[in-house]
Amino acid sequence: MNSSESGSSRFAELIKELGVPLDAELLGLALTHRSYAYEHGQIPHNERLEFLGDSVLGINVTDYLYRHFPDYAEGRLAKLRAAVVSSVSLAEVARSLGIGQLVKLGHGELTTGGRDKTSILADTTEALIGAIYMTDPSGAAKFVHHIFDPLVDRAVKMGAGLDWKTSLQEIAAAMESDPPEYRISETGPDHDKRFTAVALVDGRTFDPGMGHNKKQAEQHAAENAFRVLDAEVNGAEQPD
């Protein structure tokens, strides 16, 4: 991996830790957004690799679901897969791996916060999976399973709605409490806002959740509240 492209991101470190080969030319292509390509003489960009990576991601997540949850009906498997491979989920993976700092963007995208846009992060993550697959198909499977199998396991625990707000609503109902409410605050300029949410259940508040939009912040706040209440109601262990 070219050091100028890999930077010091967690993505580069993970590729090295897993021993997954990644062709430098394909890496560069995977990180080239169409906005950058258009500003530099219509050079190739990452959308074909994104198309490939989408399929590679889907088949590997499907394989894990099919093998590990033999009692689940097709409908539930489909919902779990949709949650795990959603743009929101892929963008969260990208943020955790520092992929945004690596993407080559055009001036317009750079000035409007493109490095943290959910759609760009999700598409680039799929393109990188495609690039790994083109370098070594088995390496792509290894990479996808390492990242996404834990997300499947987490989604299984999140209730019928497959999101933390629904899970929190369910446990509040089980406690015979009123539906959860959320207090939202925001900071930062219009092109780079940060939102903070606090969940309220039965007059109690919990650790805040933060995100780049209201929905994301509410989800994180709901997760914090759910984990506390689930531990109290069901004796579940809270993470360190």
126 annotated ligand binder: yes
The answer to whether residue 7 scores a pLDDT higher than 50 is no
Domain 9-156 has CATH 3.90.120.10: no
Mean pLDDT of 39-48: 96
Q: What is the DSSP letter of 210?
A: E
Helix 137-156 / helix 118-135 crossing angle, nearest 10 deg:
140
163 annotated ligand binder: no
Q: Cα(202)–Cα(204) distance, rounded to whole angstroms?
A: 5
Place of tokens 């997760």: 223
Mean pLDDT of 144-162: 83
Global confidence as pTM: 0.73
Query: What's the CATH number of domain 162-233, 3.30.160.20, 3.40.50.20, 3.40.30.10, 3.60.10.10?
Result: 3.30.160.20
In the chain, what are the domain boundaries? 9-156, 162-233
Q: pLDDT tens-digit profile of 222-235?
A: 989 988 998 888 76
Hey, which residues are catalytic here? Answer: 54, 126
Is 162-233 the same fold as 9-156? no
190 annotated ligand binder: no
Q: pLDDT tens-digit profile of 69-128?
A: 999 999 889 988 988 998 888 998 999 999 999 999 999 999 999 999 989 999 999 999
The answer to whether residue 42 scores a pLDDT higher than 70 is yes
